[in-house]
Amino acid sequence: MEFFSNFYDIVVSRWDLIESAFIEHMYLSFVSIAIAILISLPLGMWIAKTKRFAEPVIGVTAVLQTIPSLAFFGFLVPIVGIGTNTALIALIIYALLPIVRNVYTGIIRVDSSMIEAATGMGLTKWQRLRQIEFPLAFPFIMAGVRTATVLTIGVATLATFVGAGGLGDVIYRGLQSNNQYLVLAGAVPVALLAIGFDFALKWLENRATPKGMQLKD
Partner 1 sequence: MIRIIEVKDLWKRFQDGTEAIKGVSVKFETNKLTCIIGPSGCGKTTLLKHLNQLEAPTSGDILIDNESIFSQDEVALRRKIGYVIQKIGLFPHMTIADNISIVPKLLKWEKRTYQKRVDEMLELVSLEPDIYANRYPLELSGGQQQRVGVARALAADPNIILMDEPFSALDPISREQLQEHLQEIQKRLKKTIVFVTHDMDEALKIADKIVLMKDGEVEQIGTPDEIVNHPANDFVRSFIGTERMQRFQKTSKRDVGSLRQWYVSEIDVPAQPVEADYSVAEAVELMVQQDVLAIEIKEGEQILGYLTKDRILEALVLERGDAS
Task: Between 79 and 211, name the residue whose CB sits nearer to partner 1.
Answer: 211
Answer yes or no: are the C-beta atoms of 6 and 174 closer than 8 Å: no
DSSP state of 209: S
What minimum distance in Å lies between the beta carbon of 139 and partner 1? 10
What minimum distance in Å lies between the beta carbon of 204 and partner 1? 17
Task: Between 124 and 177, name the residue whose CB sits nearer to partner 1.
Answer: 124
User: Which residues contribute to the site for partner 1 (CB under 8 A)?
Assistant: 111, 113-114, 116-124, 127, 131-132, 135-136, 210-213, 215-216
Task: Between 103 and 185, name the residue whose CB sits nearer to partner 1.
Answer: 103
Task: Between 179 and 209, name the residue whose CB sits nearer to partner 1.
Answer: 209
Report the C-alpha gap between 60 and 66 in whole angstroms.
10
Q: What are the residues whose beta carbons fall under 8 Å from the beta carbon of 114, sequence distance 6 or more?
A: 132, 133, 136
Task: Between 36 and 48, name the residue whose CB sits nearer to partner 1.
Answer: 48
What minimum distance in Å lies between the beta carbon of 36 and partner 1? 25
Answer yes or no: are the C-beta atoms of 181 and 174 closer than 8 Å: yes
What minimum distance in Å lies between the beta carbon of 123 and partner 1? 7
Answer yes or no: are the C-beta atoms of 160 and 166 closer than 8 Å: yes
What minimum distance in Å lies between the beta carbon of 134 and partner 1? 10
- Give start and end residues of each alpha helix (H) in the chain: 2-13, 15-49, 54-66, 69-80, 84-108, 112-121, 125-128, 134-155, 167-176, 180-208, 211-214
Residue of 134, 210, 168 whose CA lies nearest to 17: 168
